Amino acid sequence: MEKSKIKKILLILGFLIIVFLLGILIFNTFFKKTTKTPTPEEGKTSTGEGLPISEEGPGIIYDEFGNPIIEESPDITDQKGPSNPQLDTTARPTASGGITQTTALTSGTALKPVLGSDGRSVQFYNQSDGKFYMVNENGDLIALSSKVFHNVQDIDWSPDKNKVVLEYPDKTKIVYDFTTNKQVTLPKHWEDFSFSPDSSKLINKSLGTDPDNRWLIISNSDGSGSKAIEFIGTNDKDVISSWSPNNQTVAMYTKGLDFNRQEVFFVGQNNENFKSTIVEGWGFESQWSEGGDKLLYSVYSPKDELKPKLWIVDAQGDNIGSSRTNLQIETWAEKCTFANNNQIYCAVPKSLPEGAGMFPELALKTSDDLYRINIQTGQKELVAIPDGYFNISNLMVDSEEKNIFFTDYSTGQIYKIKL
């Protein structure tokens, strides 16, 4: 009996030791930062299949253990809002950091609204009647065209707001010009459109059935004069059409490095070899600054409980990759908008569940507050708490910063808050 008991005890101890060692192995594999310092040769990364080969941009400094030293903006304002909002529950007519009156400007679902060319109104597609409208701050509706487009699924606007690419569920794509009232049908295998800064050209992915026939192509805005600029092959899902406002680059390509990082490559029109930049996470989505010299982006990583975090980085010429800064805000880049080249407004969820970056649907029922962030200093300020329960998208600020416009996920309506 004594030997049997000793044997059982040893077996239990052995099992516990194995579990402990497995735990250490899993931690080191998935969560622990690497301690290897990259060598100059390792800094060069080939994307393969025709996409750019770039060196990581400047601004990455490593400590003595080989871990990247990242700039972080000071956490000046508590992201969750006022410490005791119950002290004043009155909705004020203009934004002053508390609950603010929020006015509906439309009654139906607005698809892909954008700030109009006048900088004061909002242009959108009305899914109820299939027409395009402009709505001003008073809620006055003006039809942009008498033409009806039924069942449009997605929209890409030109920078001058005079043209639009319409996509339908059957993959039909057309370009419509509001100034000439003309439309042109594009090939169905063209996807992921972005207009040039002057609205005269398009960049998109031409995705043939055969991976050997998949390219990034540039064409005139009516689809004519197309030419292939980069072979993308099987990397099509990692390529993003995104024409920069300064006309320097037309697309980006992301490549995974490890569980915590990706590398972002910038694609030009003439096979340029631009520097790349490292992003600390996955789920990369971005917005260009008005001048095209900076890139606002969001990513998630295990270090942040898989919640989205906002970052800013230089993205022009030799400065690509410099001044990479964590803005210490938990939201997505698509929930932000540039008011000018140095200041953004963002809709920030009051709270986010763990894993929301990887599974955005977890955050569809959250309510958002509005923040103003200086991307140079990192200073952030609570601007307004909307008077109601809003999951905000398509955030816009007029050219004079007098009004904020946005749509609500649950209703699809356009709303306004006075600044």
Greater model confidence, 296 or 378: 296
Q: Span 340-366, mean pLDDT? A: 94
For residue range 300-320, list pLDDT tens digits in order.
Answer: 999 999 999 999 999 999 999
Q: What is the mean pLDDT of the chain?
A: 85
Give the per-residue pLDDT at 341: 92
Confidence label for 70 from pLDDT (cuts 50, 70 and 90): very low
Nearest to 113 by CA among 129, 105, 128, 124: 124
For residue range 22-63, list pLDDT tens digits in order.
Answer: 554 444 444 444 333 233 333 333 344 566 566 555 444 444
Give the per-residue pLDDT at 271: 87
How many percent of the chain have pLDDT more than 70? 79
**Are the CB atoms for 164 and 181 separated by under 8 Å?**
no
Give the per-residue pLDDT at 63: 42
> Is 218 a residue whose pLDDT tops 60?
yes
The 3-class SS string of 183-230 reads EEEECCCEEEEEECCCCCEEEEEEECCCHHHEEEEEEECCCCCCEEEE
Locate 9 and state its tokens. 């005890």
24 phi, psi to nearest 5 deg: -65, -40
For residue range 143-196, list pLDDT tens digits in order.
Answer: 999 999 999 999 999 999 999 999 999 999 999 999 999 999 999 999 999 999
Greater model confidence, 369 or 2: 369
> Is 75 a residue whose pLDDT tops 50?
no
> Is 84 a residue whose pLDDT tops 50?
no
Lowest mean pLDDT among 16-25, 59-68, 352-361: 59-68
Q: With left for phi above 0 and alpha for psi between -120 and 50, is residue 144 left, alpha or beta?
A: alpha
State how far the alpha carbon of 366 is from the alpha carbons of 107, 109, 230, 313, in Å.
22, 20, 40, 28
Give the per-residue pLDDT at 89: 78
For residue range 123-140, list pLDDT tens digits in order.
Answer: 999 999 999 999 999 999
Unique residue bearing structure tokens 């995705």: 207
Give the per-residue pLDDT at 108: 86
Give the per-residue pLDDT at 27: 43
Q: Span 274-298, mean pLDDT? A: 96
Locate 176 and state its tokens. 């419509």
Angle at alpha carbon of residue 233, lines to 227 and 237, rounded to 5°: 100
How many percent of the chain have pLDDT more than 90? 75
Give the per-residue pLDDT at 15: 56
The alpha-carbon radius of gyration of the chain (Å, integer) is 24
